[in-house]
Amino acid sequence: ASTAPTDFIRDIVAADVAQKRYPKIITRFPPEPNGYLHLGHAKSICLNFGIALENGGVCNLRMDDTNPAKEEVEYVEAITDDINWLISGWADKRIGLTTPHAHPAPATIDGKLDYHLPAANISGNAESQPGAFSPFFASDYFDALYAYAEQLILKGKAYVCDLSPEQTDEYRGAPDKPGKPSPWRDRTIEESLDLFRRMKAGEFPDGARTLRARIDMASPNVWLRDPLLYRIRHTAHHHAGDKWCVYPLYDYAHCISDYIEGITHSICTLEFVAHRPLYDWILEALDLPRPLPHQYEFAKLNLAYTLFSKRRLMRLVKENVVNGWDDPRMPTIAGIRRRGIPSAAIRNFAYNIGVTKYDSLTELAVYENAIRDELNATAHRRMAVLKPIKIVLTNIAPGETIECRATNHPGNPDLGTRPVELTREVFIEADDFAEVPPPKYFRLKPGGEVRLKYACIIKLDEIIKDADGRLVELRCTADLTTRAGQPNVNRKVKGTIHWVSAASAIDAEVRLYDRLFTVPEPGADDNYLDHLNPSSVETVTAKLEPSLADAAPDARYQFERLGYFTIDGKDSKPGALVFNRTITLKSK
Ligand code: ATP
Ligand code: MG
Ligand code: MG
């Protein structure tokens, strides 16, 4: 539906395509499996998959899993599932992998060491099945990364350093404080190679030694002050098992993983600008035979009233502030799915906000309107009453049913109509009645008239209360001549309200959500738990029109005048339905 946007990264790709710089455009999305994906990640996914799709290219999903301490299989599975959901119906036919767990094999091109994936894994993939998209793992490249590290040592571009982690930090200095060289910097190639092999063999404890690049301790860019490439961690890895006790650091693993996969454009967020010289240095130092990937940076998504940080979202989960990563109030893709937000809305949102080089805060209304636009166009209309009060239509006999027709979508007659039954007793929304109406109140009031949508005009005759003064029911007269096909159908009253028949309505639990935080920038400091909205969820027992008894788990409905709703995929059961409100009809 959306036409492809333009932005500075797409301009760069377009120029590379025009110059035939690469046979195929290959991007990647590289999450670390240490938590669930959030809407910020979705921006990056839409950018990377979008560029591949628009250019007949490929986008790889790669688990950036080089830190064994924080990563878990649960996250690998959740991330893969969420990405399949996000791109399904959009990109799954064109991009994605056919062969997971590909281990690159060593080869020699022009006398130079080369590791790359078998071509079948990175080309075409036209046969990939929807939902069958599988990830690559950076940890599958551990052998290649290790072999390249030995190459760097042999070229005199890396050395084993015996400084402790604290000493390493101290020697590195700071942007305004010069670094000083490690005493081990001039160790011989033979000694470094021997020590590195013994590090790998498990001879030394955690933290005893590191492998470092030999770059420039005086560089104004601290990332170039002999950065760490490998450290010792006697920890098993969720994917690689217990084979390794040395693990590569992010900057070292990332650029080489990109190269192994044949990535052309390695797109990341702005905090990596300062890492780019290191990305280029490592690849150039290795003297590789194939074209090198290049890194480009864009601004992260920041959304008002929303927290984006896996670490902080994890705390909300661990401290039971929310009911898990997929709580519908969470900005995670899992939460977004469960809340009923369509993937197309997320992709349209990502397109609408664009890609820039400057950090900014996106208004919540921009996100909410992308959701409303998509749901307004696609969701079937239904009637439901969230906070019911009873109406008795005294001129309709008990047991009598008057069939009316409701349209399923006002803008799309192809979606058809359905019957709704008018009966003697109906429910309306408590808010649609006022005993003492404020000025300009056009809903039901003493002596007043209102139209029941798709049915007829009713007039309030009598308010019945119990001994304690509580409302029991409203007695009204239905003007049946104002129904469709009847002579007075065009008679006008100022208010039209929704309703359901008390005889056929079904009960359902409906969960109404509000924003999780009360301040526009909850992530501004570590006190975000102080800014929680105490009423971010309200649960009501609603009355629904009976056609909703068969609501499909992934169907989305507009409950007229109330918002968009979907079945809660986890808690809803036949006969005990649970609906989530995805979003209201208007911003607050
Ligand atoms: P977080 O800090 O939320 O945990 P991260 O950047 O550490 O995020 P990764 O798993 O490393 O999480 O992210 C994978 C990719 O998603 C990276 O390329 C990263 O730049 C991108 N990304 C993360 N957050 C955002 C965001 N808010 N907007 C756009 N892209 C993002
Ligand atoms: Mg990261
Ligand atoms: Mg992080």
C-beta 300 within 6 A of ligand 1 = yes
Closest to 48 measured CA to CA, from 291, 308, 273, 265: 265
Closest to 368 measured CA to CA, from 548, 515, 536: 515
Question: What pLDDT is stored for residue 92 in this prediction?
Answer: 55
Residue 60, number of CB atoms within 10 A of its CB: 26
Distance 301 CA to ligand 1 centre (A): 9
Distance 301 CA to ligand 3 centre (A): 14
C-beta 239 within 6 A of ligand 1 = no
Locate the ligand 1 atom nearest the alpha carbon of residue 309 and give its number.
3
In terms of pTM, does the model score above 0.90?
yes
DSSP 245: S
Locate the ligand 1 atom nearest the alpha carbon of residue 302 and give its number.
27
DSSP 70: T
Report the residue among 34, 41, 47, 72 best suited for mutation to probe ligand 1: largest number of ligand atoms under 8 A from its CB: 41
Task: Walk along the chain (588 residues) in steps of 10 and give the mean pLDDT of each run.
Answer: 79 97 93 97 96 89 92 93 87 51 82 78 42 80 97 98 97 94 98 98 98 97 98 96 97 97 96 98 97 97 97 97 98 98 96 95 97 97 98 98 97 96 98 97 97 98 97 98 97 97 98 97 94 98 97 95 98 96 92
Cα-atom radius of gyration of the chain, to the nearest Å? Answer: 31
C-beta 308 within 6 A of ligand 1 = yes
Proximal ligand: closest to the CA of 271: 1
Distance 426 CA to ligand 1 centre (A): 51
Helix (H) or strand (E) segment spanning residue 73: helix 73-87
Distance 73 CA to ligand 2 centre (A): 17
Nearest protein Cα to ligand 1, atom 22: 41
Distance 347 CA to ligand 2 centre (A): 22
ipTM: 0.97
Locate the ligand 1 atom nearest the alpha carbon of residue 38 and give its number.
3
Distances (CA, A) of 196 to 189, 210, 286: 10, 8, 17
Distance 250 CA to ligand 2 centre (A): 8
Question: What pLDDT is stored for residue 125 in this prediction?
Answer: 40
Question: What pLDDT is stored for residue 95 in this prediction?
Answer: 52
Distance 345 CA to ligand 2 centre (A): 25
Nearest protein Cα to ligand 1, atom 9: 31
Locate the ligand 1 atom nearest the alpha carbon of residue 313 and give its number.
3
C-beta 6 within 6 A of ligand 1 = no
Proximal ligand: closest to the CA of 300: 1
Closest to 144 measured CA to CA, from 27, 276, 255: 255
Distance 42 CA to ligand 3 centre (A): 15
Residues with CB under 5 A from ligand 2 (ion): 32
C-beta 153 within 6 A of ligand 1 = no
Report the residue among 38, 82, 257, 269 best suited for mutation to probe ligand 1: largest number of ligand atoms under 8 A from its CB: 269
According to DSSP, the β-strands at 496-497 and 449-452 are: parallel
User: Dihedrals φ, ψ of 317, to 5°?
Assistant: -70, -50
Amino acid (1-letter code) at residue 434: A
Amino acid (1-letter code) at residue 513: Y
Distance 34 CA to ligand 2 centre (A): 9
Proximal ligand: closest to the CA of 308: 1
The answer to whether 261 touches 273, Cβ cutoff 8 Å, is no
Locate the ligand 1 atom nearest the alpha carbon of residue 43 and give its number.
29
Domains of the chain, start order: 8-298 (3.40.50.620), 310-378+509-583 (2.40.240.10), 382-503 (2.40.240.10)
Nearest protein Cα to ligand 1, atom 4: 310
Nearest protein Cα to ligand 1, atom 2: 309
Nearest protein Cα to ligand 1, atom 1: 309
* Distance between CA atoms of residues 549 and 288, nearest Å: 62
C-beta 301 within 6 A of ligand 1 = yes
Nearest protein Cα to ligand 1, atom 15: 31
Helix (H) or strand (E) segment spanning residue 150: helix 142-154
* Distance between CA atoms of residues 269 and 113, nearest Å: 30
C-beta 337 within 6 A of ligand 1 = no
C-beta 34 within 6 A of ligand 1 = no
Nearest protein Cα to ligand 1, atom 29: 300
Question: What pLDDT is stored for residue 126 in this prediction?
Answer: 37
Question: What pLDDT is stored for residue 4 in this prediction?
Answer: 74
* Distance between CA atoms of residues 281 and 263, nearest Å: 17
Locate the ligand 1 atom nearest the alpha carbon of residue 301 and give its number.
28
Is the sign of the CA dihedral 9, 15, 17, 22 positive or negative?
negative
C-beta 40 within 6 A of ligand 1 = yes
* Distance between CA atoms of residues 197 and 154, nearest Å: 13
User: Dihedrals φ, ψ of 497, to 5°?
Assistant: -125, 160
* Distance between CA atoms of residues 262 and 122, nearest Å: 8
Distance 309 CA to ligand 3 centre (A): 6
C-beta 44 within 6 A of ligand 1 = yes
Nearest protein Cα to ligand 1, atom 17: 268
* Distance between CA atoms of residues 564 and 308, nearest Å: 25
Nearest protein Cα to ligand 1, atom 18: 268
Q: How far apart are the first and last CA of the chain?
A: 28
The answer to whether 171 touches 112, Cβ cutoff 8 Å, is no
Question: What pLDDT is stored for residue 3 in this prediction?
Answer: 67
Cα dihedral 289/290/295/296 (nearest 10): 150
* Distance between CA atoms of residues 41 and 333, nearest Å: 9
